[in-house]
Amino acid sequence: MVTETTATRTITYVDRNGKEVAATHTETIKFKRTAKVNLVTGDITYGEWIVVGNDTILDGNKLPKVDGYIARGGDIESSQKDIKATAGVNITERVVYDKLGSWIPKLPEGQTQVPPTPYPNDPTDPTKPGTDRPRVPYVPGFIPVDPNGNPLKPVDPNDPTKGYEVPVVPADPTQDTPIKYIPVPKPNNGGGNNGGGGGNTPTPQPQPNPTPQPEPSPAPNPVPVTPETPEQPVVPVAPEQPAEPATPQYMDGQRELPNTGTEAHSSLAALGLLGALSGFGLIARKKREDEE
């Protein structure tokens, strides 16, 4: 009598929700053995399991590349190793894939939106993202920036209309990378071609300015007023006394009139005498003239 059995290895590839993302790998090896029955006692004696064929190895399976996914958990290592089959022993393994993140352009309102672009797969290693760098479109008057606000590099520095290089894939490749478009800053020198563009200068779209809110003025601190020192009245300067005219000699007597009457009479007498003498002199002169 001959009995048979198998050894089966099953490897599944699923996402975090258990949904299959790649075909299940299954391998089965058959075994057989002989059995002898004791007709007296009814006991059965089994022989050793012998593999059917020459293959006794359950092969490991290379991780499949799944577009948009990356192998991140489960039996990543063991599922790729060969295992010697044991009759009647089945092996089940599972590899978990996570969905890769995407570059998500956020174009200005009114522009045709661009669908997200998933990160590329590495062509030889399903556990890592690829290094291909697609491009995001050019939008007149706007420039794309990375999550840190750094402007993206144009594919052609002399012609930004050819698009911009996307940022590098983040350390966690399951996280998305938003790419925001902001208005091109207006040059202070009043012009420029902003890096080419076939001679077309991107024109930033006007953005509404928020209404400024007046800031409350702080209450002024009272400042003590120091009373001013009253001005001292100006002391009038005594006007200079006019120089007294020189008094003729004949006035000396008049100044002394209030003091003595005698001197006044003497002065008058002297004046009278002078007048008389003058008269005599005139008469004598007249007489000489007549005689001549």
Domain assignment present for 66: yes
Inter-CA distances, 276 with 184, 249, 265, 284, Å: 123, 19, 17, 12
H or E segment to which residue 32 belongs: strand 20-37
The predicted pLDDT at position 34 comes to: 93
Mean pLDDT, rounded, for 183-212: 56
Verify that 169 and 83 share a domain, yes or no. Answer: no
The predicted pLDDT at position 1 comes to: 82
Residue 162 has pLDDT above 90, yes or no: yes
Q: Which of 98, 132, 157 marks a domain boundary?
A: 98
Verify that 45 and 118 share a domain, yes or no. Answer: no
Mean pLDDT, rounded, for 154-172: 95
In which domain, by residue range, is 55 found? 2-98
The predicted pLDDT at position 42 comes to: 83
For the chain, the domain total comes to 2
Domain assignment present for 60: yes
The predicted pLDDT at position 199 comes to: 45
The predicted pLDDT at position 245 comes to: 47
Verify that 88 and 112 share a domain, yes or no. Answer: no
Q: Which of 3-17, 70-84, 154-168, 206-220 has the lowest mean pLDDT?
A: 206-220
Verify that 91 and 115 share a domain, yes or no. Answer: no
Inter-CA distances, 117 with 15, 101, 120, 172, Å: 20, 9, 9, 16
Verify that 77 and 106 share a domain, yes or no. Answer: no
- Per the CB < 8 A criterion, the answer to whether 70 and 173 are in contact is yes
Mean pLDDT, rounded, for 40-44: 86
The predicted pLDDT at position 196 comes to: 42
Mean pLDDT, rounded, for 155-165: 94
The answer for residues whose C-beta is within 8 angstroms of residue 30's C-beta and 6 or more apart is 4, 5, 6, 51, 52, 53
Mean pLDDT, rounded, for 251-255: 42
Per-residue model confidence as pLDDT tens digits over 229-251: 555 554 444 445 544 544 444 44
- Per the CB < 8 A criterion, the answer to whether 29 and 85 are in contact is yes
More confident residue, 228 or 57: 57
Q: Which of 98, 114, 130 marks a domain boundary?
A: 98
Domain assignment present for 278: no
More confident residue, 241 or 157: 157
The answer for residues whose C-beta is within 8 angstroms of residue 65's C-beta and 6 or more apart is 121, 123, 126
Per-residue model confidence as pLDDT tens digits over 201-228: 444 454 555 555 655 555 555 555 555 5
Relative to beta strand 177-183, strand 102-106 is: parallel
Verify that 51 and 94 share a domain, yes or no. Answer: yes
CATH of residue 15's domain is: 2.60.40.4300
Verify that 75 and 108 share a domain, yes or no. Answer: no
CA distance 145 to 33: 70
Domain assignment present for 276: no
The predicted pLDDT at position 8 comes to: 98
Relative to beta strand 69-74, strand 91-99 is: antiparallel
Relative to beta strand 177-183, strand 142-145 is: antiparallel
Cα–Cα–Cα angle for 23, 27, 32, nearest 5°?
160
